Structure 1
């Protein structure tokens, strides 16, 4: 029976070790993610507000980050509204409502991306101490069983099982503390990024409203035909330009 109790304590310690690896892996991943999001949003907003006009801002490329994704969705929505003549439910909105709807949906997507992993941190942070106590209980039972079998309560009999039990408790607390701290920090960062995206979307709608909710389509030109490719080719054709 003592072997069963010892196995339960060791299993608890291995489970807490796995929790610790998951917590620190998530801390590193979420830390890198938040760092990249903050830097990319800062670069894009600087380029966006530094553009000459709204059409110049719509032509910004090679930008990543949540703010850039929100802006791209907004510009794409307006272009699709100009080019679409459908009469289904998807196109039954007016331009402002359609734009606000798509911006709101994209912000929710960005929030879900930043929220990924936070539930795991919260779960480990709240359950790790209890998992440690679970191992402690079996350690104490092992100590009491040793006392009963040896009919002695000397320190040599109880020191090992009690020490094993206390290690499980301490390990559980050691796993929970960084998980809770990381969860609170990343949740705070999530709220700040979401607030910045909401502010950016509001400013975006205001700018587009001044432009009548219309964006100039991007001009696409074809290559000029080579007049010397064929000897008998007609020479009076003008180059085609598609706007």
Structure 2
């Protein structure tokens, strides 16, 4: 194979690894901001929620600003019954009210989980493929070195230093790209599980509170000022299945 094409393949491998590295660090910082904002807003909502005087009063603070708030909003929507307008007699509300609530909470938890999980598959893919991309460049770098030895009929350092150096750089870069991706993936998977457990515990507490309230609230969920200011899709979490 022509030396030009051999060198081009090695360079292409290095550029591919550069792209992988940029994507990895963008995802790392994006997920860090996401988790920080998620934690902050969930703590703020939880403080307001548990300070409410009743479950009906808590409907005023449910919004789309945080995962727990969205979960509460869905729960209140499942519990709200306006007998005066005939609500509560359609097919959706013909379910046992506890089953209806748990179904809505479970579905919302899965939505939060899927949202928070976004981007992790990319980190996993980069972490598993980057070393092989680097190895691919290494193989062609060695082929380039052997080709140079054959053409020059010499294995002197001047002949092989360049191609061998490129080959080793490709291997090193591949490993350097893979390590942060793998570490970040493992870290955010752990954070995902922790957040999932927190949402699951909150959902269980919500069901217990609803049980004390006969699985009904008399007030519809209202849109708060905080919710109107929050940009849609800011935070994302979570996982879990109600026991």
- TM-score norm. by structure 2 comes to 0.86
Cα 1:98–1:62 shift into 2, 3 Å: closer
Q: Which runs of 4+ in 1 moved over 4 A?
A: none
* Corresponding position of 1:56: 57
* Corresponding position of 1:77: 78
Q: Distance in 2 between matches of 1:149 and 1:218?
A: 82
Q: Distance in 1 between matches of 2:220 and 2:69?
A: 18
- 1:84 offset after TM fit, Å? 3.5
* Corresponding position of 1:105: 107
Q: Distance in 2 between matches of 1:138 and 1:156?
A: 18
* Corresponding position of 2:165: 163
1:120 and 2:122 equivalent?
yes
- TM-score norm. by structure 1 comes to 0.86
Residues paired across the two proteins, number? 218
- 1:55 offset after TM fit, Å? 1.2
**Does the CA contact (< 8 Å) of 2:63 and 2:69 recur in 1?**
no
**Does the CA contact (< 8 Å) of 1:133 and 1:169 recur in 2?**
yes
Correspondence for 1:145 among 147, 160, 175 = 147
Q: Distance in 1 between matches of 2:56 and 2:34?
A: 30
RMSD: 1.7
* Corresponding position of 2:27: 26
- DSSP-derived class of the 2:80 partner: helix
Q: Distance in 1 between matches of 2:97 and 2:162?
A: 73
Point out where structure 1 has 5 or more consecutive residues left out of the alignment.
Answer: 221-243
Higher relative contact order (CA 8 A, sep 6+): 2
- 1:60 offset after TM fit, Å? 1.3
* Corresponding position of 1:239: none
